[in-house]
Chains A and B, each alone.
Chain A
Amino acid sequence: MPVESDSERLSLRGHCTVEEAESVLEWILQHPQGEIDLSELEHMHMSIFQILLAAGAPRLRLPRDPFWQQLWRGAAATEGDSHENCTRGR
C-alpha cells in the first residue's frame, strides 16, 4: 500500500493514485495536527495534492524531487490571495 498511517503520521510512498484521495482526506480530518511524510513519494495524483493544499497541512515533509519544492513554492506564492476569502476546514 502506498499509503501508511498511524495516529501521528501519514506516509505516502511511490505512486499515489486518485484511489488514495479519500483515505488521505479522512486521515487529515481525524489528525489535523498530524505529520504528513512525503519523503518517499514519487508522484501523487492531483486529487491528493489538492487535499493537502486545502488542509494547509502544517507538518509536511516534502519529497526530494525538486519539482515538489518548486510546486510548493508556487502554491505558497499564491496563498496570500487565496486566503483572503477562503474558509478553511479548521
Chain B
Amino acid sequence: MTPLLEQFLIEAREYVEETAKGLLALEQRPGDAELIDALFRRIHTLKGNAGLFGFRPLIEVSHAAEDILDDVREGALAPDAELVDALLQAVDAAARMLDGIEQTGTVDERFEPEAGEIARRLRSGRLSAAGSSSTSSSLGGRVTPAVSEWIQHIPKEDCERALSTGAPLAAVQYIPEPECFFKGEDPLFTVRQVPGLLALSVRPKTPWPSLEVMDVYQANLVYELLSDAPVPVLEEHFQYVLDQVTICPLAAESAAASGGAVAAPQTHAGSSGAPADDVFSPEIAAEILAAQKALLDLPATPETHGGRIVSVGKTLESLLQATGRTADLASLARAVQQANAESSSEPLKQWLDGVRLTECARPAPAHPAQETRPASPAAPVTSKQREPAIPESVSTTVLKVPIGKVDRLMELIGEMVVAKNALLYLAGRAEQEFTSPELSREIKSHYAVIHRIVQEMQDGIQQVRMLPVGTVLQRFPRLVRDLSRTLGKEVELVIEGEDTEVDKHVVDALADPLVHILRNSLDHGIETPEERLQRGKNPRGRICIRASQEGDRARIQIEDDGRGMDPQILKRKAYEKKLISEETLESLDDEKAMQLVFLPGFSTSETVTDVSGRGVGMDVVRRSLERIGGTVALSSRPGVGTCITLLLPLSMAVSRVLGIELNGQPFGIPLEDVLETVRVPSRHIHHIRDRKAMVLRGQVIPLYSAAALLDLNATATDEQDEMLVLVARCASSTVGLIVDGLTQAMEVIVKPLDGPLAQLSGYVGAALLGDGTVLPVLNLKELL
C-alpha cells in the first residue's frame, strides 16, 4: 500500500465516522445549519479524495450523498428519519468499501451494483421530496426554481431549438471558482468542449468593476448551458470541477413559447422508462399526471402544438410502463393519434381525465416487493446491509497530530542536541582545569549514551515529519493535462520515485517552484505536435519528474524532451537586458550561459509563463529553494530537451557543520558543501596573476583565502610551509578554501541572522554552541 493510500484511508475513515455521528445528531437537530455544513464538507472531501484514486463506487455513493446534503443545506429537503436512514446506509457502504480498500488496495467490483443502488435510492428520495415540496405550478413543479431560472438566461431561440429536438437534455450550471486561473484552468475551454452542447448563456457572477481596477486573474463568470449528452458523460467531462458544477437532467417538452415562458422542463426520471420500483411513490405519479394536464392546458401556437402532444404522449407512456399499467398503453396511443390528427389537446385531456390517478399510482404489480427478488450479484451485500450499523472496531494505530506539536518537539530535540554537546565541553574542562581524567571519561561515556538516545529521538521525530514527495507531485498530472490542452500540445507526464520522503516543510516549499518549472517546460520546452513531427520526434512530448534520495539529500529532476535552450540566445538576451557585460558575453561558455536564466530580471514575458503574470522568473525558483537549503541546476541541449535538477535537504531542523578557525575565530561551513580537507605544501600552490590555484588529482582547483573573503586580517599564510585547504562544492564548481584550522563536525541548529545582521551576505545564519559560543555559518555561494 502506498503512503498516499494509507493517508487516504486514515482520513476517509475519519470522515465516515464523523459523518455517521453527525447524521445521528442531525436527526435530533434538523435545523442545525452548521452541522449540515460540516456534513456536506466532509462528504465533499471524501468524494474528492476518492476521485483521486478513481474508486468509482465510493465516488458514486459520496456524490449522491453530497447532492442530498446540498439540497438539505439549501432547504429544499428536510432531513427526516427516512433521509437520514438512506444517508447512513450510504455511509455504511462507504465504510465497507474502505475495509475492502485496506485489504486489497482497491474497491471490490461487487460494490458497483450496490453503489448504484444506494445512489439511486438517495436521489429518488431527493426527487420525491423536491417534487412534493414545490407547488404544482403551470411549469409542472418538477424542476427546482433555480433550474428554470438558469434556462431563462439562455437565448430564447437557442433554447427552443435545443428543446425542439425532443431528446432528453441536461441543464448545467458552471460557476468557476475565482482563483481557478491559478490552477491552469480555462473554464471557457471546458465549456467549449462540453459534449452535446446545444445552447448556453454566460453572465458575470458579480457586476463588472470599472476596467481600471479589474483583476484579470479573477474568474467572474457563470455559465449556464443545455446539452443533450447523458448526465454521466457530462459528469465525466466536468470531473475535475464537479464541485463548481450543477447538472440537472431535463426531459424535453415542447416550448410553450407564448408569453416568453420557457419550456416546462421535466426531470429525466419520468421518461426513462426504467422499471424503477421505488422511484415511483404514488405522489410522484400523480404529480406527473397533473403536470401533463397543466401542460395541455397551456395555450399553444400551431408550431409548438405537435411537439407538445408527442412529448406528453411519451411521458405518459413511460409512466404507464414504469407503473406496470401496460394495459392502458393502447388507449393512450389512440388518444395521441387522435390529438395529432385533430391538432387539439382535447383527446389527450379526455384520456387523462379517464385515468384514475390513484389507480395509476398503485404500487406496480409487475414488480413485486423488493424483498422477494431473486438473488442478484449484490445480494450478499444487501444482507449485510441489514446488520446493525455499528462499525467494527478497527484497531487504528494511527494518530493525527497537528504539525505545530511535532514542530515543538523537533525544536526541543534540537535544543537537546545543543545541550548534549555542552557535556563534551564539560568533559574537556574536567580534564584540563580540574585534571580529573577519570571524571572526564565518565562524563564522556554518559555523553555517548545521551548522544545515542538523542540521535534516535531525532530520527524518530524526523520520520514523523517526513512526507512522500508524491503528496506534492500528485497534483501535476492534472496541471499538465489542462495546460497542455489549452496550449494545444500533447504531453505525457511520467512521475518516478514519488515515495521518496522528505521533511514536510520541504514538501510544502517545493510546490510553487515545481509548478513554475513545469509551466515553463510545457509552454516553452515542449513543441507543438506539428513542430515535433517536423523534427522527427514523437508528436507526444514527455516530461519526466524523478525523485530519489541521494545521501542526506533528495534529488528531484524535471526533464523534458522539448526544444531545449540555445545558449547564444540566452547570452544575447542577458546582454540586451544589461545583466552581463560585453566581455562576459564573449567569455561565457555554453554551460555557464544556461545559468543566466537564474539571474534576477532575466525573465521576460517570453520566458515566463506564470499564469498569474507576476513576472516570476527562475531567480525566484532558485531563491525559494535556497531558502530551504536546496539548490537548483539546469542543463539543456538545443533541440533535445532541458533538465532541471533540484537538490533538497531531507530535513531542515538540525544541520551538520564543520567548524573552522579563521584568525582565531570559529566559523562553520555546512558539511554538505565540504568535499574533503587536504594539507598542501606551499610550493604546490600556483599563483596565476593575483589568484591562487592548486592541482588535486589532476584537477585545477581555484584557491581562496577564507580570511580574505571575510575581510579578516589575513594571517601570514603564505609564509607557512603547509596550508590547510578545505575543498568544497560551490554551485557546480569545486573550490579550495584556505583556513587556519579545523575543529570538528557538529550538529547545530542554524538560525537565520536577524535584526541589522540580516543584511549581511555571506552567512547562512548562526548557531549556538554547547559552550555558549556563537558560530557564524558561512554561505560559500554568496561569499565567492
User: A residues near B, CB below 8 A?
Assistant: 15, 17-19, 21-22, 25, 28-29, 43-47, 49-51, 53-55, 67, 70-71, 73-78, 81-82, 85-90
Contact = CB atoms under 8 A, between A and B. Distances in A.
B379 interface: no
B188 A18 contact: no
25 contacts: A18-B186, A19-B613, A21-B216, A21-B217, A25-B211, A25-B214, A28-B211, A44-B188, A46-B186, A46-B221, A47-B219, A49-B221, A51-B211, A70-B200, A74-B154, A74-B158, A74-B202, A77-B156, A78-B203, A81-B153, A82-B207, A82-B208, A88-B208, A89-B210, A89-B214
A25 B155 CA distance: 27
B202 A21 contact: no
Contact of B181 (A18, A74, A75): A18
Given A18-B186, A25-B216, A45-B188, A76 B155 contact: yes
A28 B487 CA distance: 24
A66 B208 CA distance: 26
B239 interface: no
B207 A71 contact: no
A53 B207 contact: no
A90 B211 contact: yes
B212 A29 contact: yes
Interface of B: 153-156, 158, 176, 181, 186-189, 192, 199-204, 207-212, 214, 216-217, 219-221, 486-488, 605, 609, 611, 613
Closest 5 CB pairs of A and B: A89-B211, A46-B188, A78-B203, A54-B208, A86-B207
B154 A77 contact: yes
B213 to A, nearest CB: 9
Contacts of A89: 208, 210-212, 214
Given A19-B605, A85-B207, A86-B208, A71 B202 contact: yes
Given A74-B158, A76-B155, A43 B207 contact: no
Given A70-B158, A77-B154, A18 B613 contact: yes
Nearest to B205: A82
Contacts of A54: 204, 208-209, 211, 214
Given A46-B188, A54-B204, 10 more contacts: A15-B486, A18-B613, A29-B212, A46-B176, A46-B187, A51-B216, A53-B208, A74-B199, A82-B204, A87-B208
Contact of B158 (A21, A73, A82): A73
Nearest to A78: B203
Given A50-B216, A70-B158, A88-B208, A45 B186 contact: yes
Given A17-B487, A77-B155, A87 B219 contact: no
A15 B158 contact: no
A28 to B, nearest CB: 7
Contacts of B202: 53, 71, 74-75, 78
Interface centre among A19, A85, A87 (most CB of B within 10 A): A19
Contacts of A88: 208, 210-211
Q: Is the interface of A mostly helix, strand, loop or mixed?
A: helix
Contacts of B192: 43, 67
B613 A77 contact: no
Given A17-B487, A19-B609, A45-B188, A78 B201 contact: yes
Nearest to A51: B216
A49 B208 contact: no
A73 B221 CA distance: 15
A17 B519 CA distance: 13
Given A17-B487, A18-B611, A78-B202, A46 B181 contact: yes
A15 B181 contact: no
A45 B486 contact: yes
Contacts of A90: 211
A51 B486 CA distance: 19
Given A18-B613, A19-B613, A82 B486 contact: no
A68 B390 CA distance: 56
A82 B611 CA distance: 28
Contacts of A73: 155, 158
B203 A75 contact: yes
B224 to A, nearest CB: 8
Nearest to B208: A54
B248 to A, nearest CB: 18
A28 B211 CA distance: 9
B214 A74 contact: no
Given A74-B155, A86-B204, A89-B211, A49 B188 contact: yes
Contacts of B611: 18-19
Contacts of A85: 207
A66 B621 CA distance: 42
Given A18-B217, A77-B155, A77-B201, A43 B189 contact: yes
A70 B208 CA distance: 21
Nearest to B210: A89
A67 B202 CA distance: 13
A55 B211 contact: yes
A82 B204 CA distance: 7
Contact of B613 (A15, A21, A53, A78): A21
Nearest to A76: B155
A75 to B, nearest CB: 5
Nearest to A85: B207
Nearest to A44: B188
Contacts of A55: 211
A29 B213 CA distance: 11
A74 B488 CA distance: 26
Contacts of B209: 54, 87
Nearest to A77: B155
Contacts of A67: 192
A51 B54 CA distance: 37
B153 to A, nearest CB: 5
A84 B459 CA distance: 64
A89 B210 CA distance: 4
A53 B210 contact: no
A10 to B, nearest CB: 14
Nearest to B189: A43
Contacts of B488: 15
A5 B207 CA distance: 28
A19 B486 CA distance: 12
A4 B6 CA distance: 52
B199 A47 contact: no
A40 B488 CA distance: 16
B216 A47 contact: yes
Contacts of B212: 29, 89
Contacts of B189: 43, 45-46
Nearest to A48: B216
